[in-house]
Chains A and B, each alone.
Chain A
């Protein structure tokens, strides 16, 4: 099994592995209980150092995406709502980033609400490119 990793991707390798495994689980490609390749197998197939894959697996375990059993390798975590839970986690991260940026710009809660309403409105009524928003 090979992941699609790229050296030119600005994210560090272990992060790419974490993101791709998470994405596969969120999309339902990999089901709860499904076995993951061993750390060494994945390292050899993807041409990445063992220590990097190990770190990625540790992060995935911390995030609750996979579970590692002593001596038996790793499997996708047995949580029925895992894809949904992961997506909520992703949303929460994005909201945090949003709030941080808004704070740096000095925007208050009302300004944020206004921006959200505008954005939602634009999403429903896409303007043609080149015309003024």
Chain B
């Protein structure tokens, strides 16, 4: 089965930023969440995947097409919406829908009407009257109504009010029904990623920090509350991402949980009192701050 996309050994250099040695792929039918701080490289990665930018080194393949040579064929099956994309202010949503319908295969009028209703958008109003949230939803509608095989979304829920955000997430969830459709969306809102993503990729400073299926992250990372005195060099243990103390209470964030860890900690003088899973947001922040691989 062809992967939805694959990046091999990608490098891309800009005056003040560089993507280095990125290798990443997404099997067909999966949803991947791309998490990273602003400026980490998410937008550049997405541009490479839509053929808008060409890599300095490495190979980009999307839906079986090599980019940027095959970008026209690839773009027919890709739905791309990014945070800095704007529609033509003087025109209406209906004008844009006509343009998209004629430029792309697979437009579904009924589905578009359904989305318009769910998103509460007016077809014949000039877009300059739209609020930020309405503009984002309009962009998404233009992508979703074509049912593209690959959706590449740059920060689809950023800046949306809670109601609009849920509307967008519910529309994205529709894509899950079809095993041939895949989604890559970037966000710095880890809650959205946690809910919908099958696989999660962290990028930081132009490098791939980690990429795995979401349960693997949740299974590997733990937060431990311990009693005792932390031994020398505890923060140097490869499994330990961070150590914090408050009196005789010690909080450990573990990046590589193993069942024998409590024993080994006990042997070093730390009694594990509580063990809990970490939310993705916490994992991400800890990984970035501890400056190492997640």
Give residues in A with beta carbon < 8 Å to B.
Answer: 7, 12-14, 40-41, 43-52, 55
Chain B binding site: helix, strand, loop or mixed by DSSP? helix
Q: Determine if B179 is an interface residue (Cβ-Cβ < 8 Å).
A: yes
Distance in angstroms from A38 CB to nearest chain B CB is 9
Instruction: Tell me, in angstroms, the Cα distance from A125 to B156 when the chains sit together.
Output: 57
A residues in contact with B199, CB < 8 Å: 51
**Interface core residue of B30, B195, B213 (most chain A CB under 10 Å):** B195
Q: Given A7-B191, A47-B170, is A12 in contact with B277 using a C-beta cutoff of 8 Å?
A: yes
Q: Which residue in chain B gives the minimum CB-CB distance to A45?
A: B173
Chain A binding site: helix, strand, loop or mixed by DSSP? helix
6 pairs, CB–CB < 8 Å, chain A vs chain B: A43-B173, A44-B173, A49-B196, A49-B214, A51-B30, A51-B214
Interface residues of B in 161-208 (CB under 8 A from A): 169-170, 173-179, 191, 195-199
B215→A51 contact, CB < 8 A: yes
B residues in contact with A45, CB < 8 Å: 173
B197→A49 contact, CB < 8 A: yes
Question: Which of these, B191, B196, B214, contacts A47 with CB under 8 Å?
Answer: B196
Instruction: Tell me, in angstroms, the Cα distance from A12 to B276 when the chains sit together.
Output: 11
B residues in contact with A48, CB < 8 Å: 173, 195-196
Q: Which residue in chain B gives the minimum CB-CB distance to A42?
A: B176
Instruction: Tell me, in angstroms, the Cα distance from A13 to B191 when the chains sit together.
Output: 12
Distance in angstroms from B223 CB to nearest chain A CB is 13
B177→A44 contact, CB < 8 A: yes
If A43-B173, A49-B198 are given as contacts, then 13 extra A-B residue pairs at C-beta distance below 8 Å, sorted by A number, are A12-B218, A13-B195, A40-B176, A40-B179, A44-B174, A44-B176, A47-B170, A49-B31, A49-B176, A50-B176, A50-B198, A51-B30, A55-B215
Q: Which residue in chain A gives the minimum CB-CB distance to B193?
A: A49
A7→B195 contact, CB < 8 A: yes
**Interface core residue of A13, A41, A49, A52 (most chain B CB under 10 Å):** A49
A residues in contact with B198, CB < 8 Å: 49-51
A residues in contact with B218, CB < 8 Å: 12
A49→B277 contact, CB < 8 A: no
A residues in contact with B30, CB < 8 Å: 50-51
Interface residues of B in 255-280 (CB under 8 A from A): 277
B177→A40 contact, CB < 8 A: yes
Instruction: Tell me, in angstroms, the Cα distance from A88 to B170 when the chains sit together.
Output: 37
B residues in contact with A44, CB < 8 Å: 173-177
Interface residues of B in 136-152 (CB under 8 A from A): none
Interface residues of B in 9-52 (CB under 8 A from A): 29-31
**Interface core residue of B170, B198, B213, B218 (most chain A CB under 10 Å):** B198
Instruction: Tell me, in angstroms, the Cα distance from A50 to B197 when the chains sit together.
Output: 8
B residues in contact with A50, CB < 8 Å: 29-31, 176, 198
B179→A49 contact, CB < 8 A: no
B residues in contact with A52, CB < 8 Å: 214-215
B residues in contact with A49, CB < 8 Å: 31, 176, 195-198, 214
B173→A51 contact, CB < 8 A: no
Instruction: Tell me, in angstroms, the Cα distance from A43 to B197 when the chains sit together.
Output: 11
Distance in angstroms from A47 CB to nearest chain B CB is 4
Q: Which residue in chain A gives the minimum CB-CB distance to B29?
A: A50
Instruction: Report, nearest first, the 6 A-B pairs whose CB atoms are least far apart.
Output: A51-B198, A44-B176, A47-B173, A44-B177, A43-B176, A49-B198
Instruction: Tell me, in angstroms, the Cα distance from A43 to B170 when the chains sit together.
Output: 11
B residues in contact with A46, CB < 8 Å: 173
Q: Given A12-B218, A12-B277, A55-B215, is A47 in contact with B195 using a C-beta cutoff of 8 Å?
A: yes
Instruction: Tell me, in angstroms, the Cα distance from A40 to B178 when the chains sit together.
Output: 7
Distance in angstroms from B178 CB to nearest chain A CB is 8
Distance in angstroms from A1 CB to nearest chain B CB is 13
**Interface core residue of B174, B176, B191, B195 (most chain A CB under 10 Å):** B176
A51→B213 contact, CB < 8 A: yes
